[in-house]
Amino acid sequence: MNQSLDGRTVLVTGANGGLGEEFVRQALARGAGKVYAAARTPKPWDDERIRSLSLDVTDAGDVARAVAEAPDVDLLINNAGIAPAGDYVSGPEDELRRIFETNFFGTLRVANAFAPVLAANGGGTLLNILSSASWANVPTGYAASKAATWSATNALRVLLQGHGTQVIGLQVGMIDTPMATRWDVPKVSAESVVAQAYDGVADGSIEVLADEQTRDLKSRLSTRAEEFYPWLDEQLASFKP
C-alpha cells in the first residue's frame, strides 16, 4: 500500500456510506492524521481520528461553518452527490435544479470555500468525484450535472494552480454502492475506486480513470460523432434511469 497520506488532514463530503465511507476508511489506513467525515446528518464513528461534521453542500451557511470548523484541511474529497430514480434530462425542471444544486453547485461551493484553506495549508489537494456519464449520451440530469462539474474541475485546476493546489477529477462508471443498486449492470468496487483515487493523490495525477469501462470510453472520445454516438447507443441500450 502506498502510504501517501501520512499526517494529512482529510475532509470527505457525503461520508455516511458507500464511496464516502470507503474514502474515510482508506484515508486512515494510509496514515491520515485526521479525517472530517461530513454529511447532512453526520453519524458517530468509533475512531478518535474521525471528526463528524454537519454539512449540507446546498446550504452556503453550512459550508461556511464547515470551513470555520475544519481550518486544517489539506485534502478535500468532494464526494457528496445525488442520482434520484426516474431522473430524465427532460424534467421536471424542479428535479433537475435539485440535482444540479447538489452535484454541480454544491461541489463548486465547497471547492471555492475551501480553496483558501488548502492554500493556507500548503496548497493541498482537491479531488472531485465525477462520472463517465459526463462523456456519454445518458439522458439524465445526473449525467448533465457531472458533465458540468467535469468542466468546472478543469477550470478550478487553472484557477488554483497559483495556490499550489493539486486538482483531480475522478472519472468512474457504476460503483457497487447503495446508490447504484437499482441498476443491473457491471460495477466496480468502492474499495478499488478509492484505492486508485488515493494513488492519484500520491503520484500527482490530475485525472483518475477508475474502471475499464471509463478507460475505454476515454480512449474513444476522439472518434467521429457519427461513429461514437451510435456505438454508445448500443452500449446503453438496456440503461433505464
Answer whether residue 2 is part of any domain: no
Answer whether residue 4 is part of any domain: no
Q: State how many domains the chain has.
A: 1
pTM above 0.85, yes or no: yes
pLDDT at 241 over 70: no
Answer whether residue 134 is part of any domain: yes
Total residues found in the chain within this entry: 241
For the stretch 103-152, pLDDT in tens is: 999 999 999 999 999 999 999 999 999 999 999 988 999 999 999 999 99
d(CA 224, CA 196): 30
Beta strands in the chain (DSSP E): 9-12, 34-39, 50-54, 75-78, 125-129, 166-171, 207-209
Answer whether residue 137 is part of any domain: yes
pLDDT at 145: 98
Question: Can the peptide bond before residue 178 be classed as cis, meaning omega within 30 degrees of 0?
Answer: no
CB atoms within 10 A of CB 190: 22
Answer whether residue 1 is part of any domain: no
The residue range of the domain holding 219 is 9-235
> Rg of the chain's alpha carbons, rounded to an integer?
17
Q: Check which CATH number belongs to the domain holding 149 and give it.
A: 3.40.50.720
| 218 CB-contact burial (10 Å; exposed 0-12 / middle 13-18 / buried 19+) | middle
For the stretch 11-45, pLDDT in tens is: 999 999 899 999 999 999 999 999 999 999 999 99
